[in-house]
Structure 1
Amino acid sequence: MQVPPGLPHVLHFLALLSPPVILVFIVSYFFPIPIWATILLSIASVPAYLAFHISHKYSKEKRRAAAIGAAFPPSYNGVKFGNFDLLVMFQNIYANGYLGDGLTDAHAELGGTFNLRILWDNNILTNDANVIKAVLATEFPNFIKGKHFQAFMNSVLGTGVFNTDGDMWKFHRQMTRPFFSRDRISHFDIFEKHSDDAIAKMRERLREGQAVDFQDLIWRFTLDSASEFLFGACIDHLSSNLPYPPNTPQAATNNDQETSADRFAHAFARAQDTIAKRGRMGHIWPFLEIFSNKTADDMKIVDDFLNPILQQAVENYTKDKEAGLIKENESEEVKDDETFLDHLVRTTTDSQILHDEILNILIAGRDTTAGTLTFAVYFLCMYPHILERLRKEILEAVGPSRRPDYDDIKDMKYLRAFLNEVLRLYPAVPFNVRYAINDTTMPNPDPNGKPFFIPAGTPITYSVLLMHRRTDYWGEDAHVFDPDRFLDDRLQRLIANPFIFLPFNAGPRICLGQQFAYNEMSFFLIRLLQNFSGMDSQLDIQTLPPKEWAQFPGRKGMDKFFPKSHLTAYSKDGMWVKMKEAEPAS
């Protein structure tokens, strides 16, 4: 029986609070103190001890900051005890608000970097490119995912590459890198197979006169592509029925035939949402999981699907090795016909390492790409002139039916600019975090100000989404969707400071699958616009933002969908569209 994930953390917390209580009972043993007084003193000693501990901690941090000529970033303060009102506010924003709400106003008032103390813990938030550069690159050895991050992610990500530090992270990175080191023809075979299936599925539904939830479709496409790429066994999520719009009679049949692929996909999504909620709750989440693991039921569904595949791969490798078909010095070589799992088992046969690494890469290879393609289609619906220009480039470079290859994609400048602009306004991972190992400082944008002090153990939460929309980095039109900014003179802003655009992270932990993702997204968009010449958002079906959002500046006031995020960004309740089929080539 597994120990619930919250229990060890709660016991550790109680142990930290025990010294004053123990001291009271020791004193009562030697002195005649009534039982009622002992109990009252024990209860009173805990908050007194906490107050002393917090005050002493702040005092030490201020002295350490002063010793190196630094100062804390400005503070974002609430009105309730321990800034508990801010914790409640951000939970409400997650449920009902726009991405970045609460932080946007704080940045406008306090600058690119500020300290948000929740329940007396330092939490540094930043959208400053120079601070993010330091965290991800120039001071990389001093910043880790850390034990707090790993604790709430562990029941899903385990010890995979996105949830480890130090030697274990290096091991996973080294194990994974060779498979992403070059473009392989087999990748394009996978893209073609599943994009053609997805487009056929979409065309069939559109010919019924019904709208299609493009987000649901593209999640299926990326899950099928990722599963075949990773372990050579397609989950075949595209084979199940697409959902009908919720305002149609047929919608009653949407859940009639749930397949094993549906169960896997839905369980995996729920598990990710659960661990993301833990992260937003901070130190409170363990108290909500003292007696149960909220990811357990969903991860059982995931594991029941995945573990037999992993077991079969290990058995196949063992048989081939015993038969002398595998040489010891081949472990670093990647063969054209092998899957990612085939490659991994030649590095390790540890079932837990294989399990965790596959799930980590599945999230990276599926959710991020699906989200970006969903937002890409939204922008094509909103800006027909951009769709027309992009389709023109596709038809001139590839034609109306030919399969694109790597050179085609590499040469299509507007397609790359279009994808970059999608990733700028809606990066796949809007928020991320690192923890400082040792005391350090971060650059202060005020040339006359002291550098910002970051105490050891402090998290720095950085928002690529908010950084990508800063007008001082991108110009006054930063909130306008315009792919030409990556082609005209405005590109000089990015050339002057490459760290203002980080859709794939940066530094030693930069995404290994960056080019794979560009290839997959480009391939699908080319196939899509070879088959369809126009598209429209179905706003009567789409879950729209609250009407009052229209009065706000920027994308919050512009966009006609409700953006959300757990680990990655997505559209609430899907992205409902209709598309016009292209005329056959004469």
Structure 2
Amino acid sequence: MFSKGLDTPGILFLRRPAFYAASTIVGAILCIRFVSKIWPGIPLSLWLVLLGISLPLSFAGRVKLRQLSTRRAAASIGARPIPCLQGKRVGNVDLMFKFLEIFRTGYPGDGLDEVVSDVGTIFNTRMLFEDDIITIEPNHIKALLATDFDNFEKGDKFRATTLSLLGTGIFNSDGEMWKFHRSMTRPFFTHDRISHFNIFDRCADEAIPSMKARFRAGHAVDLQDLMLRFTLDSSSEFLFGHGIHSLRGELPYPHNTRPEVKSVPDGDTAEAKTAEAFARAFAGAQYAISQRFRMGPMWPLFEISKDNTKEHMEVVNAYIEPILQNAINKQKARPSTDDASLQETLDEDTLLDYLVRRTTDITILRDEVVNIMTAARDTTASTLTFTLYFLATHPQVYSRLREEVLTKVGSTSRPTYDNIRDMKYLRAVINESMRLFPAVPFNVRDSIKATTLPSPNPAEKPLYVPARTSVTYSALLMHRRKDLWGPDAEEYDPDRFLDERLRKYLTPNPYIFLPFNAGPRICIGQQFAYNEISFIVIRLLQNFTSMTLSPEGQAPETRPPAAWASAEGRKAIEKICPRMHVTLYSYGGLWVKMTEDGEAC
């Protein structure tokens, strides 16, 4: 296990730059001492000039020496350096600001797809003199996640960036700490546990009547907002045994629509405000983390005087910690039980009940709960948002899927695990949505020791990855490669997961589709997520006969820019603005109108 103290943002920020700064200053001093010996009595002004010249020269020499060292190390093992982007400014700062602006306002993957066509499917951005490799090669991602798993970790940079939110939980840890969290949590995600749909049913029973009320009043509904509430309530009930009940709060109204005034009981108002405050704080902390990723290694400079997650996490912790403490107190009051008794009580446990039987350390529990909630809420809501987006824009898919729902489940019956397992078209619809819009479009690993990755061209030497180097991989860009998925790779077609294209492309090369990662760190909640997504989609299609986008519901500035129409690929036909922080989302929401089925309950 690692120490938090060794991985604080300040220490991490200083570690590598301090090394360069120290070597630069030492180089400058040695240069000055050499000159002073052959030319004594130099005036102060000249010393300052010499210092001003020697510092950048020494730094440039240090950078050049490192590049030469990398080339020699690569050559010594029969490898070659990864192609590096060449910007027009020192340290590729022009490229850094270009990508930051694209990340903030552009379409996911903008800029990088151009680099791929010019440079290839793996390249080194080397921004601010830091190696940062980007790849969309399935064999490389396979090495990062599986075949060379022990040599790649989340790493200090990722951990320091997310520490104030995720602590040392399962998604933010490596080595023994990661093994501890995984072994503690994984047994809970069993077939028997994930097949219990009571939680999903209760949340759906709150979500759907709210939708119907809005539609009957003639208003559009933001399904992205609704799915975020749905996944927050279901994940909190799954974790704690009682939901946050954000679905009971007032749904947002469409752009330029005057809210209807209605009286709400004081108790409901207090509960709604608590839920809204928690949801807003939780989202705010995640947004602050995403901003750090955008700024790269320079982000601590922008938080010298203030941790941008602190205020948000105070609200989150104020809600969570009393729940944790109550569970700990109950566990300490219970008589000791053996392993057999623990197993017997598993079916009635919440995840928190299960966890406190294994540890009463409130920090470990807090980190684990926040990690699970982050994954359960954001990634599932993202997948639901884009699945519903495609259903709204592809009426033939909606009709075919609804026919499967009515045939396999009926118009009013509650979906079961066996129903969902038997619905092959539903699984194809979800998979195709995750292919084009994977919830986590970019991910990263850090190399521990120097290693190599296979060249995309087998005739060329392997590619050298130095030790302690970040390697970013993009499922989004890989999922859209026409050489991996066929000429229609950017089209939405669920049948590709059912027809001969499945056997042609995916079956022989499973690492081209990674919505849940792979290898030892594959998502432990994968089946839980499939069940939750499937359940609410089924319930929606039981209750509504059709769905269409209502773009007038969102603010004009959040709609796709007119310039997108002349772009290539999906960008030209997109009806919403996909954006990303850690996960993908629809900028401005997903506003729809739906036609109610009079026979559905």
Q: Which TM class, normalised by the smaller chain length?
A: over 0.9
- For 1:100, the equivalent position in structure 2 comes to 109
Is 1:545–2:591 an aligned residue pair?
no
Task: Compute the displacement of 1:45 (Å).
Answer: 4.3
1:483-504 CA distance string (max 9 Å, x none): 0000000001110101111100
Contact preservation (8 Å) 2:447, 2:465: yes
In the TM superposition, what whole-angstrom CA distance separates every residue of 1:261-311 from its partner, at most 9, and x where no partner exists? 111111111211111221221221111122221111111111111111111
Are 2:286 and 1:277 aligned? Answer: no
| Equivalent-residue separation in structure 1 for 2:340 and 2:230 (angstroms) | 36
SS at match of 1:441: strand
Superposition deviation, residue 326 in structure 1 = 3.2
2:445 counterpart SS class: strand
Give the whole-Å Cα distance in 1 for the aligned partners of 2:463 and 2:520.
Answer: 24
State the partner residue of 1:349: 360
Find out whether 1:560 has 2:575 as its counterpart.
Answer: yes
**Contact 1:431–1:465 at 8 Å: present in 2 too?**
yes
With over 3 angstroms needed to count, the CA separation of the structure-2 counterparts of 1:467 and 1:534, relative to structure 1, is same
Conserved 8 A contact 1:4-1:290: no
Alignment of 1:343-422 (within 5 A): 343-422=354-433
Q: CA deviation at 1:113?
A: 1.0
Deviates more, 1:194-203 or 1:32-41: 32-41
Aligned pair 1:427/2:447, yes or no?
A: no
Structure 1 counterpart of 2:596, which letter? E
Q: 1:53 to 1:381 in 2, by over 3 A?
A: same
Q: Is the 8 A contact 1:424 1:501 kept in 2?
A: yes
Aligned partners of 1:252 and 1:55: how far apart in 2? 67
Equivalent positions of 1:406-555 (< 5 A) are 406-492=417-503, 493-542=505-554, 543-555=558-570
CA contact (8 A) 2:194 2:531 kept: no
User: Superposition pairs for residues 313-332 of structure 1, below 5 Å?
Assistant: 313-320=327-334, 324=335, 326-327=337-338
TM score, norm. by length of structure 1: 0.94
SS in 2 for 1:117: coil
Query: Does structure 2 conserve the Cα–Cα contact (< 8 Å) formed by 1:417 and 1:484?
Result: yes
Which whole-Å deviations, capped at 9, do the CAs of 1:223-256 have from their partners, x for residues lacking one? Answer: 0000000111311101110011122122899xx9
Q: Following the alignment from structure 1 to structure 2, what is the Cα–Cα distance between the partners of residues 514 and 98?
A: 27
Letter in 1 for 2:563: E
Q: How far does residue 56 in structure 1 lie from its aligned partner after superposition?
A: 1.4
The match for 1:82 is: 91
Instruction: Return the alpha-carbon distance in structure 2 between the equivalents of residues 365 and 412 of structure 1.
Output: 23
Which whole-Å CA distance do the structure 1 matches of 2:55 and 2:7 have between them?
A: 26
CA 1:303–1:146 in 2, change beyond 3 Å: closer, same or farther?
A: same
Q: Distance in 1 between matches of 2:522 and 2:115?
A: 28
The equivalent residue for 1:571 is 586
SS at structure 1 position matched to 2:123:
strand
Instruction: Using the TM superposition, name which of 351-360 and 69-78 deviates more.
Output: 69-78
Q: Structure 1 residues 208, 84: CA separation in 2 closer, same or farther (over 3 Å shift)?
A: same
Instruction: Report matched runs for 1:41-440 at 5 Å.
Output: 41-184=50-193, 187-250=196-259, 259-320=273-334, 324=335, 326-327=337-338, 335-440=346-451
**Structure 1 Cα separation of the partners of residues 261 and 91 of structure 2:** 47
Aligned-pair CA distance for 1:364: 0.8
- Give the SS at the match of 1:435: strand
Q: Deviations over 1:151-198 (max 9, x none)?
A: 111111110111111000000110111011223277300010101111
Distance in 2 separating the partners of 1:502 and 1:569: 15
Aligned counterpart in structure 2 of residue 18 of structure 1, from 22, 41, 46: 22
Ranges in structure 1 where 5+ consecutive residues have no aligned partner: none
Q: Percent identity?
A: 49
Determine the C-alpha separation between the residues in 2 that align with 1:197 and 1:563. Answer: 27
Gaps of 5+ in 2: 263-268
Counterpart amino acid of 1:122? D
Report the CA distance between 1:439 and its aligned residue.
1.0
Whether the aligned pair in 1 keeps the contact of 2:253 and 2:259 (CA below 8 Å) is: yes
Counterpart Cα distance in 1 of 2:187 and 2:135 = 33
| Structure 2 CA distance for partners of 1:585 and 1:251, relative to 1, 3 Å | closer
CA–CA distance in 1 between the matches of 2:423 and 2:22?
64
Paired residue type of 1:344: L
Q: How many equivalent residue pairs?
A: 580
1:381/1:215 Cα in 2 relative to 1: closer, same or farther (>3 Å)? same
Contact 1:206 1:212 in 2 (8 A): yes
The SS at the match of 1:563 is strand
Letter in 2 for 1:310: L
State the Cα deviation string for residues 429-474 of structure 1 (Å, max 9, x = none): 0000001111111111212211111111111110000111000111
The 1:442–1:199 alpha-carbon spacing in structure 2 relative to 1, beyond 3 Å, is same
Deviation of the 1:36 alpha carbon: 4.9
